């Protein structure tokens, strides 16, 4: 289902006005204990939630009558019906109800427009703080406070600087403490509602970590603010919208430098390892990570006399692996791109590293030969060079790599984005949540 929409530049100020009107409805609603109910998920809902919901529902119906609304306080619509809702609105009329009930000003009105699973417009209004944040595709992000509008461009911390972390005021947990333990943390800011996203966008903190349960309407508007707080491409986000359950997995948004790791790109000559490595390094630097690239060809030039027999290749890979492991131990993300054709060699490197991410660049031999950027396959087929992997020397593909990439089907940029997501996505293990 697709609907024509006004241009985002026309839509945004009207959504801001609607959020502010909902905020006024919240402020005008008295806090009475008898007006609070407990929903099925255990969260409270108040008369102020309902008042804001009514204002937003009526406003969006007038503004975009054909665009459906998914709201925390709205009806539960089965996924089979709403799966085709594109675009749609995601609304939390009062995010941070617990803070509201305790008289803490960290609650917000959240309105987001979703298109293709992405929040292309978002408004976060904090009525008790009298501040409004916006983010929209092609328009950037802003903060409006005391009548002054500031353009927001979020940037990563300098490499090696302690990070500043936003976390939930109501949901701090031992899991977050364990997750942050490997990092140098300079400050932890506890605040309610989607304001955590906005603190990242305005540069007050570097990253927002959420390992507990959230719903899509809790985060969509704030996610739009941080995504579009950029003077270039949008900032990456792991969040997607209008999913079957409307529940989010644990997530990290902002500029959390990936934890030290060894990313080992292995594959045939011409597969695209070096190109992917360059794309990944640029992304890691943009995240504020300490990075070192180890390229097989460059290392051979620096270490003359490195041969191509099986024993010499094995020794070369193990030497590079040892160097990578020492760099990792000192806080560096290592991006190594070597053919490294033998499983035993790669297994030995894995055993040296605390976090080893094996990336099989599995571009087919025929495609690598077709590319042949250095003319090596042609020379190998002509017998001018010997012991060439894929021609007269075997390549043993990984059995269970963390990531598989075929550059005939996926661009180097997309592959680098996928590796970066692997490095920065929290994972639940037997020992808790890790990155």
pLDDT in tens, 121-135: 999 999 999 999 999
Under 8 Å between Cβ of 22 and 109: yes
**Cα–Cα distance measured from residue 66 to residue 76, given in angstroms and rounded to the nearest whole number:** 18
**Cα–Cα distance measured from residue 335 to residue 403, given in angstroms and rounded to the nearest whole number:** 14
Q: Report residue 221 as tokens.
A: 């508007």
Model pTM?
0.76
Q: How many residues are present in the chain?
A: 435
pLDDT in tens, 334-370: 999 999 999 999 999 999 999 999 999 999 999 999 9
Tokens 């007269």 sit on residue? 392
Q: In a 3-state reduction of DSSP, which class is residue 7? A: coil
Under 8 Å between Cβ of 341 and 385: no
Q: What are phi and psi of 163, to 5 degrees?
A: -90, 150
**Least confident range of 295-304, 379-388, 413-422:** 295-304
Neighbours of 378 (CB within 10 A): 12
Are 8-137 and 163-254 in the same CATH fold? no
Q: What is the CATH number of domain 163-254?
A: 3.40.190.80
Name the superfamily (CATH) of residues 8-137. Answer: Fructose-1,6-Bisphosphatase, subunit A, domain 1 (3.30.540.10)
Would strands 356-361 and 44-45 be described as parallel, antiparallel, or unpaired? unpaired
Element housing 230 (H / E) = none
Q: Give the Å distances, CA to CA, from 429 to 179, 249, 401.
A: 12, 14, 18
Q: What is the CATH number of domain 261-424?
A: 3.40.50.300
Beta strands in 301-424 (DSSP E): 333-337, 356-361, 403-405
Q: Domain segments of the chain: what residues?
A: 8-137, 163-254, 261-424
Name the band, by pLDDT with cuts 50, 70 and 90, for residue 429. Answer: very low
333: pLDDT strictly greater than 60: yes
DSSP line for 180-228: HTTS-EEEEEEE-TTHHHHHHHHTS-SEEEE-S-EEHHHHHHHHHHHHT
Tokens 């043993």 sit on residue? 396
**Cα–Cα distance measured from residue 419 to residue 408, given in angstroms and rounded to the nearest whole number:** 17
Give the chain's mean pLDDT: 92
Q: What per-residue confidence (pLDDT) applies to 433?
A: 44
Q: Report residue 64 as tokens.
A: 């975009």
Q: Which class for 319: exposed (0-12), middle (13-18), buried (19 or more C-beta within 10 A)?
A: middle
18: pLDDT strictly greater than 50: yes
């Amino acid at each position: 289902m697709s609907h024509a929409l006004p241009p985002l530049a026309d839509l945004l100020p009207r959504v801001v006005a609607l959020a502010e009107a909902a905020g006024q409805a919240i402020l005008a609603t008295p806090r009475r204990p008898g007006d609070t109910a407990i929903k099925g998920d255990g969260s409270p809902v108040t008369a102020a939630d309902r008042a804001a919901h009514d204002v937003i529902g009526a406003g969006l119906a007038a503004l975009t009558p054909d665009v459906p609304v998914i709201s925390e306080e709205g009806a539960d619509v089965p996924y089979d019906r709403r799966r085709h809702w594109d675009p749609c609105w995601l609304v939390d009329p009062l995010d941070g109800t617990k803070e509201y009930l305790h008289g803490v000003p960290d609650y917000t009105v959240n309105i987001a427009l979703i298109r293709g699973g992405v929040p292309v417009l978002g408004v976060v209004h904090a009525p008790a703080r009298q501040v409004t944040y916006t983010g929209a595709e092609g328009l950037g992000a802003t903060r409006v406070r005391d009548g002054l509008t500031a353009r927001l461009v979020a940037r990563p911390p300098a490499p090696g600087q302690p990070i500043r972390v936003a976390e939930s005021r109501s949901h701090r947990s031992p899991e977050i403490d364990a997750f942050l333990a490997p990092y140098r943390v300079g400050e932890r800011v506890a605040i309610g509602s989607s304001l955590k996203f906005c603190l990242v966008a305005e540069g007050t903190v570097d990253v927002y970590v959420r390992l507990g349960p959230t719903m899509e309407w809790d985060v969509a508007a704030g996610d739009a603010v941080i995504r579009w707080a950029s003077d270039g491409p949008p900032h990456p986000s792991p969040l997607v919208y209008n999913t079957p359950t409307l529940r989010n997995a644990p997530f990290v948004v902002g500029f959390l430098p990936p934890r030290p790791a060894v990313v080992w790109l292995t594959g045939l000559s011409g597969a695209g390892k070096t190109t992917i490595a360059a794309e990944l390094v640029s992304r890691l630097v943009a995240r504020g990570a300490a990075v070192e690239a180890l390229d097989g060809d460059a290392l051979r030039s620096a270490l003359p006399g490195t041969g191509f027999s099986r024993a010499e290749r094995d020794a070369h890979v193990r030497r590079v692996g040892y160097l990578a492991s020492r760099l990792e131990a000192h806080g560096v993300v290592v991006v190594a791109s070597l053919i490294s054709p033998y499983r035993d060699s790669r297994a030995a490197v894995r055993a040296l590293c605390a976090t080893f991410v094996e990336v099989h660049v599995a571009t087919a031999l025929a495609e690598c030969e077709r590319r042949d950027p250095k003319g090596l396959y042609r020379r190998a087929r002509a017998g001018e060079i010997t012991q060439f992997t894929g021609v007269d020397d075997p390549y043993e593909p990984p059995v269970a790599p963390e990531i598989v990439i075929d550059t005939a089907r996926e661009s180097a940029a997309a592959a680098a984005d996928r590796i970066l997501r692997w490095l920065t996505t929290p994972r639940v293990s037997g020992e808790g949540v890790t990155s």
